[in-house]
Amino acid sequence: MRARLELPIPEAVRPVYDNMLDFIESEVYPRERALEAGPATDSWHAEMAILQKEAKRRGLWALGHPEEVGGGGLSLTDYSYVNEAIGRSLHGLYAVGTASFQDALLLHDWASEELKDRYLAPLVAGEIMSSFSMTEPAVGSSDPRQLQTTAELVGDEWVVNGTKWFTGRAHRSTFATVMARTEPGVDGRRAFSLLLVPTDTPGFEIERSVLAMGYDGDHCIVRYHDVRVPASNIIGQRGGGFLLSQKRLGPGRISHCMRWLGQALRAYELMCERAVSREAFGSVLAEKQLIQEMVFMTAAEIKAHRLMTLEAARLLDQGDAARVDIGTIKVVGATMLHNAIDRAIQVWGGAGVTEDLPLEAMYRQARWARLVDGADEVHKVTVARLLLAPFVDAATGRAETPG
**Which residues share a beta bridge with 284?**
279
For residue 177, the tally of other CB atoms under 10 A from its CB is: 26
354-389 pLDDT, tens digit per residue, is: 999 999 999 998 998 999 888 999 999 999 999 999
Last residue of a domain, one of 187, 210, 235: 235
CA distance 92 to 18: 15
pLDDT score for 201: 98
Residues 278 and 345 in one domain: yes
161-218 pLDDT, tens digit per residue, is: 999 999 998 999 999 999 999 998 888 889 999 999 999 999 999 999 988 877 777 8
| Residue range 294-310: mean pLDDT, rounded | 96
Residue 294 lies in a domain: yes
25-82 pLDDT, tens digit per residue, is: 999 999 999 998 888 889 999 999 999 999 999 999 999 999 999 999 999 999 999 9
Residues 269 and 377 in one domain: yes
Domain CATH for 60: 1.10.540.10
**Which residues share a beta bridge with 220?**
167, 209
Residue 119 lies in a domain: no
Domain count across the chain: 3
What residue numbers bound the domain in which 270 lies? 243-396
Residues 273 and 392 in one domain: yes
**Burial of residue 85, with CB atoms counted within 10 A of its CB: 0-12 exposed, 13-18 middle, 19 or more buried:** buried
pLDDT score for 363: 95
Question: How does the average pLDDT of the chain come out, rounded?
Answer: 93
In this structure, are residues 316 and 254 in contact, taking their beta carbons and an 8 Å threshold? Answer: yes
Is the full-model pTM beyond 0.85? Answer: yes
Residues 84 and 138 in one domain: no
Residues 202 and 273 in one domain: no
Radius of gyration for the chain, computed over Cα atoms and rounded to the nearest angstrom: 22
Residue 48 lies in a domain: yes
Last residue of a domain, one of 77, 109, 141: 109
Max intra-chain CA distance, the chain: 79
Residues 222 and 288 in one domain: no
Residue 124 lies in a domain: no
For residue 403, name the pLDDT band (cuts at 50, 70, 90).
very low
Residues 279 and 382 in one domain: yes
**Which residues share a beta bridge with 173?**
129
CA distance 321 to 302: 24
121-168 pLDDT, tens digit per residue, is: 999 999 999 999 999 998 876 777 789 999 999 999 999 999 999 999
Distance of CA 62 to the CA centre of its chain: 15
216-248 pLDDT, tens digit per residue, is: 778 899 999 999 999 999 999 999 999 999 888
246-282 pLDDT, tens digit per residue, is: 888 888 899 999 999 999 999 999 999 999 999 999 9
First vs last C-alpha separation in the chain: 47
Alpha-carbon distance values, 184 to 91, 193, 239, 245, 350 (Å): 41, 12, 10, 19, 55
Residues 204 and 303 in one domain: no
Residue 33 lies in a domain: yes
Residue 403 lies in a domain: no
The yes-or-no verdict on residue 400 having pLDDT over 80 is no
Last residue of a domain, one of 235, 258, 288: 235
CA distance 64 to 313: 12
Residues 156 and 264 in one domain: no
Residue 75 lies in a domain: yes
The yes-or-no verdict on residue 348 having pLDDT over 80 is yes
Residues 162 and 91 in one domain: no
Residues 194 and 73 in one domain: no
Residues 324 and 350 in one domain: yes
CA distance 114 to 133: 21
CA distance 318 to 327: 17
Domain CATH for 288: 1.20.140.10
In this structure, are residues 165 and 194 in contact, taking their beta carbons and an 8 Å threshold? Answer: no
Domain CATH for 180: 2.40.110.10
Residue 64 lies in a domain: yes
